[in-house]
Amino acid sequence: MSIIEFHKTSKAFGPLTVLDEVDLSIDAGEVVVLVGPSGSGKSTLLRCINALETITGGDLIVDGLSVKGNARQLREIRQEAGMVFQQFNLFPQLTALKNVAFGPRQVRHLSQSEAESVARDLLKKVGLEDKADHLPSELSGGQQQRVAIARALAVKPKVMLFDEPTSALDPELKHEVLSVMQQLAEEGMTMVVVTHEMAFAKKVGSRLIFMEHGKIAVDGNPRDVIDNPPNDRMKDFLHHVE
């Protein structure tokens, strides 16, 4: 069953069309890796799914709800679609534990102690139980991003969206974040991941989408399309990222 359905979805910023009548449906359990040149609309596509961007044409259904719905429905969609940002965006005034507990407390209305127990379990899952009382500024980039993943998971989403989660990290820190993501994928989480990590795409992805000028240019099995790019632009692109 599809959990995300794009129906001729368009997004324009003023005169600039960034998504051009995209048709795409993503099933529960898929790990979709989204690649493409800078400005091709990857982040925008991701941000339309949880309605951080408002679509300007067509429709987009997430877990049965349209992103064109009212504010309450949008909040429901966002609770089902967790997001991880390139810049982590942890709340700087809160400890790692409180960052993770924040969603369950404020969104799922758990008590503070229940929320913190959920948070503690998730910090353990991302290997950071010993950093619970650290502020984000006291953590490395890789640790911050793992806290951010835990924070998104704490609301119990059905889908996880990742926008270049390792691009702001030093090479030696990327691995710790990618392995948490791989673990999530193995547990059956539905994921949409914008990344330049082709090794991750091949190993973990179940589907690879190459975007170009706001359209889906290639959609296939990661191992097949990375080893044998079906068009020259994708071949060029892969050449650049590797």
Ligand X SMILES: Nc1ncnc2c1ncn2[C@@H]1O[C@H](COP(=O)(O)OP(=O)(O)OP(=O)(O)O)[C@@H](O)[C@H]1O
Q: Which residues bind ligand X (CB under 6 A)?
A: 13, 16, 18, 36, 38-44
Q: Does 109 bind other proteins (CB under 8 A)?
A: no
With 0-12 / 13-18 / 19 or more C-beta atoms within 10 angstroms meaning exposed / middle / buried, residue 82 is buried
Pick the stretch among 80-88, 187-195, 218-226, 232-240 that binds other proteins (CB under 8 A). Answer: 80-88
Token digits for 97? 């534990």
Nearer to ligand X, 121 or 219 (CB): 219
Give min distance, CB of 82 to other proteins, in A.
7
Using the minimum distance from each CB to ligand X, give the nearer residue, 41 or 136: 41
Interface residue with other proteins, options 3, 20, 61, 102 (CB under 8 A): 102
- 18 contact, one of ligand X, Mg ion, other proteins, none, CB 5-8 Å limit per kind: ligand X
We find the least distance from the C-beta atom of residue 38 to ligand X, in angstroms, to be: 3
Tokens representing 6 are 């794009």
CB of 90 to ligand X, least distance (A): 20
Beta-carbon contacts of 170 under 8 Å, excluding residues fewer than 6 positions away, are: 141, 142
Q: Using an 8 Å Cβ cutoff, are 199 and 241 in contact?
A: no
- From the number of C-beta atoms within 10 Å of its C-beta (0-12, 13-18, 19+), residue 171 rates as exposed
SS3 label, residue 134:
coil
From candidates 52, 168, 198, 217, binder to other proteins by CB under 8 A: 52
Binds other proteins (CB under 8 A): choice among 15, 38, 70, 71 = 71
Site for other proteins contains 114 (CB under 8 A): no
| Total of residues contacting other proteins (CB under 8 A) | 25
Q: Is 43 in the site for Mg ion (CB under 5 A)?
A: yes
* The one among 55, 60, 85, 139 contacting other proteins by CB under 8 A: 85
**Measured between alpha carbons, how far is 96 from 145 in angstroms, rounded to an integer?**
11
CA distances from 93 to 51, 89, 135, 225 (A): 26, 12, 7, 44
Residue 65 as a binder of other proteins (CB under 8 A): the answer is: no
> What is the C-alpha to C-alpha distance for residues 34 and 137, in angstroms, rounded to an integer?
30
Is residue 213 within 8 Å of residue 45, measured between CB atoms? no
Give residues in contact with Mg ion (CB under 5 A): 43
